Amino acid sequence: MKVVLDASVLIKWLLADPEREAHTEKATDLVMAVGRGELDLILPGHWLVEVAAVLCRISPQTAQGDVETLHLLDWPTLDTPSLYRVATRLAVELRYHLFDTLYHATALETGATLVTADAHYWRKAGGLGRITLLPDFTV
């Protein structure tokens, strides 16, 4: 199964602090499943920039090391004109930030499932398909 994990899920995995973030264990399970080859991961090209920006804000003491580790993972990305067309259309239609719609567009363009912890985005975009909330996803 092919998945897209958005920044909300990746941050939960990185922080691994259930007192600070709900569903960190679920996020960790997903990333571990990717590492074991049980799930195929694809991410939009901007993912590392977005995650790094969040880390700098919420975990400045570990941000540099975390970003270096993430870079070494060398996860596959999608960065095509078609992806940006779909993401831009979603951003306009949903009145949502392009950084968020890029993850969903990646899922729509590749036949993957977007796994998100962003319930607000899921409520707005759930009817478009290829998206599930982190607590509802099963490997």
Q: pLDDT over 70 for what percent of the chain? A: 100
Beta-ladder partners of 2: 40
Show the domain range for 128: 2-136
- What pLDDT, on a 0 to 100 scale, did the predictor assign at position 111? 98
**What is the count of structural domains for the chain?**
1
pLDDT at 35: 96
Q: What is the pTM of this model?
A: 0.95
pLDDT < 50: residue spans in the chain: none
Please give the pLDDT value at position 20: 80
Give the per-residue pLDDT at 18.
79
Q: Domain of 62: which CATH number?
A: 3.40.50.1010
| 3-state SS record for the chain | CEEEECHHHHHHHHHCCCCCCCCHHHHHHHHHHHHCCCCEECEECCHHHHHHHHHHHHCCCCHHHHHHHHHHHCCCEECCHHHHHHHHHHHHHHCCCHHHHHHHHHHHHHCCEEEECCHHHHHHHHHHCCEEEHHHCCC
